[in-house]
Structure 1
Amino acid sequence: MSDAPLILLAAGGTGGHLFPAEALGVVLMKRGLRVRLVTDSRAMRYSGLFSADMIDVVPSETVRGKSPWALTRTGVILGSGTAKALALMLRRKPAAVIGFGGYPTLPPLFAASALRIPTLIHDANAVMGRANRLLSSRVSAIATSLPGVLDRDPALAAKTTTTGTPMRPAILAAAAVPFAPLQADGPLRLLVVGGSQGARVMADIVPGAIEQLGPALLARLVLTQQVRDEDMARVRAVYDRLKLNCELAPFFTDLPARLAASHLVVSRSGAGTVAELGAIGRPSILVPLPGAIDQDQFANAGVLADAGGAIRMVQNDFTPERLAGEITALATDPAKLTAMADAARTVGRLDAADRLADLVMQVARV
């Protein structure tokens, strides 16, 4: 393997960026290539394919404000990261560098472009992220999870291929689990998640919604909820008072299996979450993160909602009353839950990692 071509995978330090990189890495290694991850220090928290000796940490910084001081600070850190990335490229001599979004991808992709190393970026959102947009004119090729993302820009569309979002082995295993139709008197398995960093809004709204469910439905409910440490006590107090069958944790390492076991998912609509819901095929109520410049989560949720696999609910409408009403309506209509599961699955692309690996090998000429 030491003589095999090396592919550097560059990704921001959150699951939405790292998980597709991991999925691609698995396929590339099966094809006999070497892979390494270039990222920021946050990625060291994630277990999986990339052990510590497979990771190169490069300084990076997100744009956190428009003040001259904030912009200068960001520019200095990105400049330092690019210098370090240039040295890394000269030392590692990769056949190609593949970016998965997030500002930590900027230094390695800038460096690779300057050294004329083949480059590719993958964007999982329905609206291209800002870091990838900064790189889009420089890279050799672009892969998107969804069709039509760059149709309004002919120059970029000409080098764009729709591959889908590469799925980790755990997601592919969960996708093989068929949806278990809700039985009239059986348990309703509800999963509430808030993304890689959690979401306070879920702690603010979901307990109040659960309180409003009828006694019969409450007795059937089996709830799994991601709750941040700082919100845990107040959320648990509500559920203890209701004597609810529930499991609460800040993070679930076996989230794919929990998705597969669910009748309904309540979540933010990050690109990774939407792709996984499509791959596994589970009904959802999606609450896009408000205030985003590009409204990417709103667009992501629209992909599943338009297919009939999800209910998109903007945060202003995400109230205990509205959520309780939606849960009650779906619980009394098991056929609709099954139809939503089937519709969600039409959005999923289980062969995305192989499709992206084909494109990477084409770009790298290996």
Structure 2
Amino acid sequence: MAGLSATNTDNGLIALATGGTGGHVFPAEALARELESRGYRLALITDRRGDAFGGTLDRIDLHTISAAAVSGRGILGKVGAAFSLALGYIQASNLLKQLRPLAVVGFGGYPSVPTMLAASRNRRIKSAIHEQNAVLGRANRLLAPRMDRIATSFAETSGLRQSDRNKAVWTGNPVRPDIMQMANTPYAPPRQEDPFQLLVVGGSQGARVFGDVIPAAIALLRDDQRNRLRIVQQAREPQVQDVSQHYRRIGVDAEVRSFFGDMPLQLTKAHLVISRAGASTIAELTTTGRPSVLVPYRYAIDDHQTENAARICDSAGAWMMPEADMDAAVLAQRLGDLMDQPHTLASAAAAARRIGTPEATRKLADIVVDLVGGTVTSPNTQKNEKAREALA
């Protein structure tokens, strides 16, 4: 049964179409919470792998359809994927006729394609997509001409056709609720005599290059710098023990795990973050205003992580280090310089915060509500925005 609205009213049903990766799920969950608070019922449509959602998405009606990625496959694989998508389209069309939603909102990825195509063919249903990255994803590139609205996370989004720009609205990328709770925690630059908190995040499954290079770079720092370091590092499960032992050998205080359940808290405690440049990571860094060294994943589709990183680096909120150029000596030089320059870290933190969009959830919800002819209100975010203005 769909989650009950906090307003105890029923303004109608809105369906969300998303896959199971964090980059798609986090903004979908944030939007679900906001729409639920405004009196809308919700349904979630995904592929058969989408069975591990949490939070608000775990409470709403879940419907699965057939879907598969076409790219990166051989001929037989592409034929099978095309058949799966065609079947998914038929399933989604029948499902939407049953559900009769006012609108369907897609968050990219191939699991959203059949549902969003079906929605675009139904004149009674409004359709919108949200793009998390600075480069329009392939699924959203296909869907964009058919949509009523296109919400973007960045002010400038590559790959958007000129003919579709009049439908595009910059909302920012919604972040998960536990990040929003930390959004107004001010950045405290480290003093020379204080411990230096370094957070290393390698994406949903860690990054092997981080486990290989970062401990080696730390070993090259001056003794006084290593003695100040307090490291929290996410690593791949097979690397956790080796990385932990390396830090112990060089006498560095480090906590290494494959997963941290308190990552929002660790983020706000950090003086510096080393991370990949996924869309959710960029949104969290800018929402909380934390300085970072960004190492884009070199094999990301359309090199979108480099584009994501460039947006924040151009605003002086981060430093980019291409993975091909990342070695221990180069990273040690960067880390050592930043540890000795707290004013530079503070400036980067302020720059990151300035380009953050903590109101992204409200803006995205406003677009959806406006599409269906509802009353656009945002009582849930006014306090956050006032607090944000006070920090600016």
TM range (shorter): over 0.9
Residue 217 (str. 1) matches residue 225 (str. 2): yes
1:83 shift after superposition: 2.2
In the alignment, structure 1 segments of 5+ residues that lack a partner are none
5+ long unaligned stretches in structure 2: 375-392
Aligned-partner SS, 2:190:
coil
SS at match of 1:247: strand
* Shift, 1:159, TM fit: 0.8
Q: Which residue of 2 aligns with 1:114?
A: 121
Tell me which residue corresponds to 1:281.
289
1-structure distance, mates of 2:266, 2:66? 35
Q: Which amino acid aligns with 2:220?
A: Q
Query: Aligned residue for 1:24?
Result: 31
**1:251 has 2:251 as partner:** no
SS at match of 2:186: coil
The answer to whether the aligner puts 1:199 opposite 2:199 as a matched pair is no
Question: What is the CA–CA distance in structure 2 between the aligned matches of 1:272 and 1:175, rounded to whole Å?
Answer: 14
CA contact (8 A) 1:151 1:157 kept: no
Is the contact between residue 17 and residue 111 of structure 2 (CA under 8 Å) also seen in structure 1? yes
- Report how far residue 255 of structure 1 moved: 1.6
Query: For the Cα contact (< 8 Å) 1:44–1:52, is it kept in 2?
Result: no
In structure 1, distance between residues paired with 2:317 and 2:290:
7
> CA offset at residue 66 of structure 1?
4.7
Partner of 1:90: helix, strand, or coil? helix
TM-score (norm 1): 0.95
Matching residue within 154, 172, 179 for 1:171 = 179
Structure 1 residues 164 and 61, CA, compared in 2 at 3 Å: closer, same or farther? same
Inter-partner Cα distance in structure 2 for 1:343 and 1:39:
37
User: Aligned to 1:45, what secondary structure does the other structure show?
Assistant: coil
Once residues 294 and 165 of structure 2 are traced to their aligned partners in structure 1, the CA distance between those partners, rounded to angstroms, is 29
2:168 equivalent among 160, 164, 169: 160
SS of the residue aligned with 2:20?
A: coil
Whole-Å separation in 1 of the counterparts to 2:277 and 2:71:
22
Letter in 1 for 2:266: R
Structure having greater relative contact order (Cα 8 Å, sep ≥ 6): 1
Alpha-carbon separation, structure 2, partners of 1:33 and 1:123: 22
The 3-state SS of whatever aligns with 2:297 is coil
Separation (CA, whole Å) in 2 of partners of 1:214 and 1:85 = 60
Which 4+ stretches in 1 moved above 4 angstroms? none
Q: What is the match of residue 85 of structure 1?
A: 92
**Percent identity of paired positions between Structure 1 and Structure 2:** 41
Instruction: Pick one of 66, 70, 75 that aligns with 1:68.
Output: 75
Q: Which amino acid aligns with 1:136?
A: A
Deviations 1:8-56 (A, max 9, x none): 1112211111101111111111111112222234443342221165322
CA distance in 2, matches of 1:203, 1:277: 21
Which range is displaced more, 151-160 or 179-188?
A: 151-160
> TM-score if structure 2 supplies the norm length?
0.89
**Alignment-derived partner of residue 262 in structure 1:** 270
SS in 1 for 2:245: helix
